[in-house]
Amino acid sequence: MERVVQCLAAKASLTGKRILVTAGPTREYIDQLRFISNPSSGKMGYALAQEAQKRGAEVTLISGPTNLSPPNGVHFIGVDTAQTMYKAAAKYFKANDALIMTAAVADYTSAKQIKGKLKKGPQELSLSLVPTTDILTQVSRNKGNKLLIGFAAEVEQLLDNAKQKLKRKNLDLIIANDVSQPGVGFEVDTNAITIIDKAGQIEEYPLMSKQRAAQIILDKIAYIWEQKNAG
């Protein structure tokens, strides 16, 4: 009986909240057929969207190209480039209470997109790259009372790098994952997350399913809202 009560309480905890989640990779086109991307499968972001929806939140999922089906009951927006993801995030952020940026957004894009298909030739070819818009930094300018949650995919100095991103991007929480470790981060069904909050509190979790990691992240978000309401 006790277990059922706890379960119902957890499910009810996000009712009335509107949560925007981004997931998957972006594609930065060199010509009409070739692009720069990364191995993000979308699994972490889709798990968050699904779990938030199950707990009663109204969820919008903005996703780069993946092989996954949008979770039932979630408002789905498909995008491809960092720029299209930025435009969608900026548009939908206004109507949401929290943004969870799980997407692996490219930091650089090709300075120019070649029309048609780039022809092969004997000469060396250089590609000029320019920075993409940082979505979290931009939307944080209109943060107000909303929660901003970022992820940090690191291969070294996990905590230091994640803390810097938390500060630089004006986040409430950052979820750090050391993607150099087996079973962690891109493509796999599991993750090992470290949650860092604005006050510098650090919670480290062992390897677990992305579904379970999503539950822990959403518990933390629900807790922050609870604290805000109480204060």
Q: What is the binding site for ligand PMT (CB under 6 A)?
A: 24, 40-45, 82, 101-105, 107, 132, 134-136, 150-153, 165, 177, 179, 185-187
CB of 80 to ligand PMT, least distance (A): 14
SS3 119: coil
CB of 15 to ligand PMT, least distance (A): 26
Phi then psi dihedrals of residue 197, to 5 deg: -105, 175
The Cα-based distances of 229 to 180, 196, 223 in angstroms read: 38, 21, 10
CB of 105 to ligand PMT, least distance (A): 4
Catalytic hit among 38, 72, 142, 177? 38
Q: Which is nearer to ligand PMT, 118 or 130 (CB)?
A: 130
Q: Which is nearer to ligand PMT, 13 or 177 (CB)?
A: 177
Is 229 an annotated catalytic residue? no
Neighbour count for residue 90 (Cβ, 10 Å):
15
Q: For the stretch 12-32, what's the b/e string if a residue is b when 16 or more beta carbons lie within 10 angstroms of its beta carbon?
A: ebbeebbbbbbbbbbbbbbee
Q: Which is nearer to ligand PMT, 179 or 221 (CB)?
A: 179
* Spatial CA neighbour of 84 closest among 27, 32, 5, 123: 27
CB of 138 to ligand PMT, least distance (A): 8
The two three-digit tokens of residue 155, written as one number: 């291969």
Q: Which is nearer to ligand PMT, 62 or 222 (CB)?
A: 62
Active-site positions read 38
